[in-house]
Amino acid sequence: MVKNKSLLFGVLIPLIMCSCVQTYDEGISTLITCKKSFLKLYDRTDLFDHFPEYNRKKPIMGALEQLGSECINGELFQYESFDKDRKNIERLKQFNVLYYTNYNDSLNIIIEFSGFRDSLIQRQECNKYFEGKYALPDLGFINFNLGKTTNNVIGADNETYDIGKYNYPEDLEVYVIDAKAGNFWKTKSDKKNPESLKSWKYGYSRGYAISESQQRIIYWTIVW
């Protein structure tokens, strides 16, 4: 029997150790603590260097989701969204751009953690390898106030799931400043990430996305 179930991207990540949506002092403090905790598990210490300094006079949006260390090779996705202003743009000029694309390109490699391991739901447009491309984060749970698209996906249990994602601005341009394929976890794991990612089965990616129409910058770091 087929049943319809509604899901929103980003809610299928199991065993979340640290998840926060922050504004002002309390949320910022939690976010910083999460970052420090995570960096103890990974071989790279510069994963958040491109993030701007926190402006306590101005609210920000952001989230950090991390699987517990008992999962060995957990995943982490963090994003923070700021208004596009001169100060932030000038700061980004110090980082060389490794790769550039429009986020709406159908040939982008989108890392979507809820499709990892033995997940019921495997979105066809995500976790797929394309030659010469760099891995990008799944931004499908960020509300750009442009509505939402819902698609029917057949799960591993043969039930139909209604999967929703927020629509992206047409001018959402993505800039990767650092990304490498490989297993950089301090404690290696035999857990298997999607084979469909091929050489990007493990790795990290960090950078930012800009929408001129929304005057918005989104900073991200993902590791998997």
Q: Does residue 157 lie in a domain region?
A: no
Q: Does residue 163 lie in a domain region?
A: no
Q: What is the pLDDT along the chain (224 residues), one digit of tens a residue?
A: 333 333 333 322 222 333 434 444 566 676 677 777 778 888 888 988 888 776 655 555 666 555 443 444 567 777 777 777 777 888 888 899 999 999 999 999 999 887 776 677 777 788 999 999 999 998 887 888 999 988 887 777 778 888 888 999 999 999 999 999 998 888 876 667 888 999 999 999 999 999 999 888 888 888 88
Q: Does residue 154 lie in a domain region?
A: no
pTM: 0.79
DSSP tag of 215: T
Q: Does residue 151 lie in a domain region?
A: no
DSSP tag of 52: P
Q: Does residue 192 lie in a domain region?
A: yes
Domains in the chain: how many in total? 1
Q: Does residue 58 lie in a domain region?
A: yes
The answer to whether 59 touches 23, Cβ cutoff 8 Å, is yes
Alpha-carbon gap, residue 122 to 36, rounded angstroms: 31
Of 46, 48, 41, 47, give the one whose Cα is nearest residue 74.
41
- Helix (H) and strand (E) counts in the chain: 2, 12
